[in-house]
Amino acid sequence: MEISSVTLRVLLLFFPGVLCALLVDALTSHRERTPVQFLTHSFALGLGSYLSLALVRDLAAALAKWLRLREPLDVTFFEALLNDHTRIAWREIALAGCVGLVLSSAISAMLNHNLIFRAANRLGVSRKAGDMDVWALLFGSQRGEMVVVRDLVRDMAYHGSVEAFSDSSEPAELLLKNVTVYRQSTAVKLYELERVYLARKVNDLVIEPVESSHSRS
């Protein structure tokens, strides 16, 4: 497939946005993104990176003017995007990428802690819990906490702390540590293990959070 010079120019200019979108996807739990959603996120994050860079530049220029120093170069992204004859500033792309890494890290922290949805819930704007299924919502708040996982099909129960879990509930993957294994039907203790990896259909499991006062050391 032949790529036109205009397409290549846009791809180069929006490289910081693609980098940010990849980082946000890697650092957060979410439903699978469609190509259109990924491109939209890349576009928005790219614009956010350059706008943030322009704001930093304006602040630095104001400080330089006050100190009677040389002002930094203008951000030429928007001119380069609209005018094919404008030279691409490679250092500007690199700086926007660095700003984008900070921006995407902040966005990832907000998404992982559900800050936007918590604020919306408090203001009565929305009742949504976030862009994740109940599996991710449960274990996002239970990581490191003690739980009892009941395997109804195999008649087993696992008491341990959550170390890791899959992003999706299909299949449900769960890694527990400091685990005590019981027979589900009789509650008879069978053995203890340092770690247990479970990969089950989510309908086969019952997850019960355990109060911290009942946790083992």
Give the pLDDT of residue 166. 77
pLDDT band at 28 (very low <50, low <70, confident <90, very high): confident
CA distance 162 to 76: 48
From the list 151, 138, 162, the residue with the least C-alpha distance to 212 is 162
Residue 110 domain boundaries: 5-119
Closest CA to 21 of 1, 2, 40: 40
- Rounded Cα–Cα distance for residues 196 and 175 (Å): 6
Residue 217's pLDDT is 40
Residue 184 lies in a domain: yes
52 and 84 in a single domain? The answer is yes
Q: Band the pLDDT of 213: cuts 50, 70, 90.
A: very low
Q: Quick check: is 36 in a domain? A: yes
89: its two tokens:
């500033």
CATH number of domain containing 148:
2.30.30.100
Percent of the chain residues topping a pLDDT of 70: 86
Q: Is residue 67 part of a domain?
A: yes
Whether 171 has a pLDDT exceeding 80, the answer reads no
| 3-state secondary structure labels for all residues of the chain | CCCCHHHHHHHHHCHHHHHHHHHHHHHCCCCCCCHHHHHHHHHHHHHHHHHHHHHHHHHHHHHHHHCCCCCCCCCCHHHHHHCCCCCCCHHHHHHHHHHHHHHHHHHHHHHHCCHHHHHHHHHCCCCCCCCCCHHHHHHHHHECCEEEEEECCCCEEEEEEEEEEEEEECCEEEEEEEEEEEECCCCCEEEEEEEEEEEECHHHEEEEECCHHHCCC
Give the mean model confidence (pLDDT) for residues 52-76. 90
Within a domain: residue 125?
no
Distance, in Å, from the CA atom of 184 to the CA atom of 167, rounded to the nearest integer, reads 27
Q: Which of 14-18, 29-33, 145-149, 206-210 has the highest mean pLDDT?
A: 14-18
Q: Which two tokens stand for residue 140?
A: 């996002």
Q: What average pLDDT does this structure show over 95-100?
A: 94
pLDDT number for residue 215: 41
Mean predicted confidence (pLDDT) in 89-100: 93
| Average pLDDT, integer, range 159-165 | 89
- Is 127 part of a structural domain of the chain? no
Q: State how many domains the chain has.
A: 2
Q: How many CA atoms lie within 13 A of 197 on its CB side?
A: 2
What is the model's pLDDT at position 2?
A: 55
Domain identity same for 145 and 106: no
What is the chain's mean pLDDT, rounded?
85
pLDDT at 8: 79
